[in-house]
Amino acid sequence: MSKRLKVLVILMAVAIFFIFTLGARADVVEPGSENDPLVTKSYVDKALFNLKQYVDSRSGDSASFEIVYLEQGQQLIGDRGTEIILRSGIGTVVDTGNGGLADITEGKDITNGENVLQNHLLIVPRDDGRGVKAVNSNVILLVKGGYTLVK
């Protein structure tokens, strides 16, 4: 073999060697770095623990229904976003002319003077005097959110 051919073969071998080592090195990511696609179990456990702490801190009394008893003629006026469920008795809607209560169960708006159906979820959309009036003396409501009782 000529000297020139030997040098060319050696250069080709060195070039191929560098290409393979650089290609292999490009796939290696330092563990724990920004580019590492995997996370450790301890990281996931810590993230889930922090998320649970956050959710638990946000849960409280406002997330549960309160039982409210109304006498005949008494009104429950809800704040914006208050949820109301009539459990027993007869109640009618009280509104101020800007619309009634949203009956989520039936998917319609109940306006002033209409009877409230039992076990239907009602939502007060605005803080403008909307609520439920007791027609008889044994009205029981479940209420979640702020409200005012009016005689």
Global confidence as pTM: 0.59
Q: How confident is the model over 132-149, as pLDDT tens digits?
A: 999 998 999 999 999 999
Residue 137 CB-half CA count within 13 A: 0
Domains of the chain, residue spans: 65-150
Residue 92, Cβ neighbours under 10 Å: how many? 15
Indicate the CATH number for domain 65-150.
2.60.120.10
Q: How confident is the model over 66-100, as pLDDT tens digits?
A: 999 999 999 999 999 999 999 999 999 999 888 89
Q: What's the pLDDT at 82?
A: 93
**Burial of residue 146 (number of CB atoms within 10 Å: 0-12, 13-18, 19+):** middle
Lowest-confidence range among 16-25, 44-53, 68-77? 16-25
Q: Tell me which of 28 and 94 has the higher pLDDT.
A: 94
> Residue written as tokens 């702020």?
146
